[in-house]
């Protein structure tokens, strides 16, 4: 029988920004469900599930349903194989398994069936072991952000002390845990808030957080601006009347300071020269720049609508015809000229209150490092030298608290970066120190 249980995930993108790949996955799963339930075409349903699983990591309930399709199509071995993957991915509904008519042929294989039940119960016990370990470690929530770090082992994440590498919780979690007033960890597709003093684990169902990706709000341009030299945008953020000048246009920055007119900047590609530049609403170039870039890529950790007291850490990656490549800030200053081969925004792995630092990952000779602002300065510098095969995100230490009704009540404080070297994953701090258990 098809199951519709949905495991909660921490969404790093809003529902409206689901990728085409995720949409295709969902469409294939729905087709498989219809073929199984309505048409009883179990082989066809299994084929659709397999096609979906090739697009992205499957959900536990979809793996379970695929196991049902495989079993009813007569493939017992594949039925067990998919059931095992479902359990390893978070499936834990033992009662349903024991009553499900679709599983009758698997239950008849008593020895193999008992192995599946034992595996499911063992997985459930792992969280209890981690809770007991956390309680016995005796770590206060005040010390946790600076004292703890995630570590990676056997394709899962655990928690260790930074000072002596002692294990605080075993490597059973899907993602690197976060530390603050609680430990926030995802175990078998379910998020938990875990108390430091008692080890108690409470299910956490976070709402979709604010985006840390460079996806912009739709600002309204001032009505007084003339399209004769610069640009005018409508209430949806679209360019009006200047398609004759620009082959590409993106409104990237808006600043409103008390008592002063609002300022707008846009990245444009000029049709006349095929070059890129940054202009204001009057068409004037960003001070200190010319429209002579062969490419401009905006890196920004928030929307361009900034509150007056919120620092706007925005930067562009530019390239010129002579091969010069560097970072360009909105004061028109260049940084790290010819210092890297490519750069991209590093996303905060959990949404946070605005005002956190912005970091870029950069590559040189096929290795990745981290770029950020020099503390107390507008200068962008190399913070971690390029030596990793990839850097996927950062975060993990925070102040404030997690609340189902308000995920904006905390800020990142201890910056750890999730890196990869070959097949090994671990975290490093801003000084490049690695945190991993031998």
pLDDT for 394? 81
- Res 63 pLDDT > 80: yes
In a domain, 1, yes or no: no
User: Is residue 438 domain-shared with residue 366, that is, in the same domain?
Assistant: yes
Per residue in 369-402, pLDDT tens?
A: 999 888 778 888 999 999 999 998 887 777 666 6
Same domain for 332 and 409, yes or no, is no
Query: Predicted confidence band at 344 (pLDDT cuts at 50, 70, 90)?
Result: confident
Selected residue with higher pLDDT from 355 and 112: 112
Specify if 5 maps to a domain.
no
With a cut of 90, say whether residue 113 has pLDDT above it: yes
Residue 280: per-residue pLDDT: 80
The CA-atom distances, in angstroms, between 395 and each of 198, 219, 350, 410, 430 are 24, 29, 7, 12, 11
Mean predicted confidence (pLDDT) in 71-97:
91
Q: How confident is the model at residue 210 (pLDDT cuts 50, 70, 90)?
A: very low
Q: Which of 68-77, 129-138, 150-159 shows the lowest per-residue confidence on average (mean pLDDT)?
A: 150-159
Read off the pLDDT band of 2 (50, 70, 90).
low
Rounded to 5 degrees, what are φ and ψ at 60? -60, -40
Query: For the chain, what is the domain count?
Result: 3
Residue 368 lies in a domain: yes
> What is the predicted pLDDT for the residue at 373?
84
Looking at the structure, do residues 352 and 414 belong to the same domain, yes or no?
A: yes
Predicted pLDDT at 235? 53
Give percent of the chain with pLDDT exceeding 90: 37
pLDDT at 66 over 90: yes
Identify whether residues 221 and 244 lie together within a single domain. yes
pLDDT greater than 60 at residue 357 = yes
Structure tokens at 207: 């709402």
Residues 49 and 83 grouped into a single domain? yes
Q: Is residue 10 part of a domain?
A: no
Please indicate, yes or no, whether residues 224 and 326 belong to a single structural domain of this protein.
yes
Nearest to 425 by CA among 410, 411, 437: 437
pLDDT (average), residues 144-155: 89
pLDDT in tens, 153-174: 888 899 999 999 999 999 999 8
Give residue 7's pLDDT: 28
Q: Are 244 and 271 in contact (CB under 8 A)?
A: yes
Looking at the DSSP bridge assignments, the partners of residue 209 are none
Looking at the predicted structure, is the pLDDT value of residue 432 above 70?
yes
- CATH number of the CATH domain containing 102: 1.25.40
- Tell me: do 20 and 99 sit in the same domain: yes
Q: Are residues 437 and 355 in the same domain?
A: yes
Within a domain: residue 133? no
Q: Among 36-40, 297-301, 426-430, which stretch is predicted with the lowest mean pLDDT?
A: 297-301
Q: What number is the average pLDDT over the span 96-105? A: 93
Does residue 222 carry a pLDDT above 90?
no
Contacts 24+ apart (CB under 8 A), 193-202: 193/402, 194/130, 194/131, 194/134, 196/134, 196/135, 196/137, 196/139, 196/140, 196/141, 196/144, 197/135, 197/140, 198/135, 199/131, 199/132, 199/133, 199/134, 199/135, 200/131, 201/127, 201/131
Q: What confidence score (pLDDT) does residue 255 get?
A: 64
Residue 314 has pLDDT above 50, yes or no: yes
pLDDT tens across 277-291, in order?
Answer: 988 877 788 888 988
Top mean pLDDT of 16-25, 132-141, 338-347, 410-419 is at 132-141
Q: What is the C-alpha to C-alpha distance for residues 313 and 365, in angstroms, rounded to an integer?
A: 27
Give the end of a domain, one of 281, 306, 340.
340
Reply yes or no on whether the pLDDT at 12 is more than 60: no
Q: Which residue has the higher pLDDT, 189 or 268?
A: 268
Instruction: State the average pLDDT for the chain.
Output: 79
pLDDT of residue 221: 43
pLDDT greater than 50 at residue 310 = no
pLDDT at 254: 63
DSSP letter at 210 equals: P
User: Band of the pLDDT at 64, cuts 50, 70, 90?
Assistant: very high
370 and 269 belong to one structural domain: no
Asked which of 108, 130, 162 is the last residue of a domain, the reply is 108
In a domain, 256, yes or no: yes
Same domain, 334 and 406: no
Residue 127 in any domain: the answer is no
CA 336, CA 351: separation in Å to the nearest integer? 28
Mean pLDDT of 398-420: 68
Answer with the residue of higher pLDDT: 431 or 239: 431
Contacts of 411 (CB under 8 A, 6+ apart): 352, 353, 355, 356, 398, 399, 400
pLDDT grade, residue 191 (50/70/90)?
confident
Q: Same domain for 169 and 288?
A: no
Q: What DSSP line would sit under 96-154, residue for residue?
A: HHHH-GGGHHHHTSHHHHHHHHHHHHHHHHHHHHHHHHHHHHT--TTTHHHHEEEEEET
Among the ranges given (12-26, 37-51, 93-107, 207-221), the one the predictor scored with the smallest mean pLDDT: 207-221
**Within a domain: residue 422?**
yes
Mean pLDDT across 176-183: 88
pLDDT surpasses 50 at 220: no
Residue 433 domain boundaries: 140-207+347-438
**Better pLDDT: 236 or 54:** 54
Pair (104, 24) in one structural domain? yes
Q: Are strands 178-179 and 263-270 parallel, antiparallel or unpaired?
A: unpaired
Predicted confidence band of residue 405 (pLDDT cuts 50, 70, 90): low
Angle of helix 42-53 versus helix 60-72 axis, rounded to 10: 150
């Amino acid at each position: 029988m098809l199951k519709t249980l949905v495991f909660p995930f921490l969404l790093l993108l809003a529902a409206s920004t689901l990728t085409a790949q995720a949409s295709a996955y969902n469409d294939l799963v729905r087709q498989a469900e219809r073929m199984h339930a309505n048409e009883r075409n179990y082989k066809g349903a299994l084929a659709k599930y397999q096609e979906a699983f090739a697009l992205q990591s499957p959900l536990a309930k979809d793996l379970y349903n695929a196991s049902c399709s495989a079993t009813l199509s007569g493939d017992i071995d594949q039925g067990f194989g998919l059931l095992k993957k479902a359990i390893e991915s978070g499936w834990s509904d033992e009662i349903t398994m024991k009553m499900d008519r679709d599983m009758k042929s698997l239950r008849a294989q008593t020895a193999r069936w008992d192995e599946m039940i034992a595996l499911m119960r063992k997985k459930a016990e792992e969280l209890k072991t981690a809770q007991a370990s956390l309680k016995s470690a005796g770590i206060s929530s005040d010390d946790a952000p600076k004292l703890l770090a995630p570590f990676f082992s056997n394709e899962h994440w655990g928690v260790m002390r930074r000072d002596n590498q002692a294990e605080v919780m075993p490597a059973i979690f899907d993602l690197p845990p976060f530390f603050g007033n609680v430990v926030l960890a995802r175990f078998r597709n379910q998020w938990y808030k875990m108390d430091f003093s008692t080890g108690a684990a409470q299910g956490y169902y976070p709402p979709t957080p604010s985006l840390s990706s460079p996806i912009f709000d739709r600002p309204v341009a001032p009505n007084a601006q003339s399209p004769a030299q610069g640009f005018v945008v409508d209430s949806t953020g679209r360019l009006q009347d200047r398609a004759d000048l620009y082959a590409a246009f993106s409104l990237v920055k808006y600043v409103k300071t008390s008592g002063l007119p609002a300022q707008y900047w846009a990245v444009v590609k000029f049709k006349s020269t095929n070059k890129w530049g940054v202009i204001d609403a009057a068409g004037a170039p960003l001070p200190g720049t010319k429209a002579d870039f062969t490419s401009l890529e905006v890196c920004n950790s928030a929307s361009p609508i900034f509150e007056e007291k919120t620092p706007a850490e925005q930067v562009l990656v530019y390239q010129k015809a002579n091969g010069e490549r560097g970072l360009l800030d909105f004061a028109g200053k260049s940084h790290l000229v010819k210092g890297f081969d490519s750069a991209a925004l590093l996303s905060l792995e959990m949404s946070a209150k605005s005002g956190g630092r912005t970091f870029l990952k950069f590559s040189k000779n096929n290795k990745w490092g981290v770029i950020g602002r020099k503390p107390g300065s507008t200068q962008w510098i190399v913070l971690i030298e390029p030596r990793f095969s990839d850097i996927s995100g950062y975060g993990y230490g925070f102040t404030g608290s997690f609340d189902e009704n308000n995920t904006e009540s905390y800020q990142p404080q201890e910056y750890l970066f999730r890196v990869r070297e070959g097949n090994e994953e671990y975290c490093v701090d801003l000084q490049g120190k690695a945190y991993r258990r031998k």
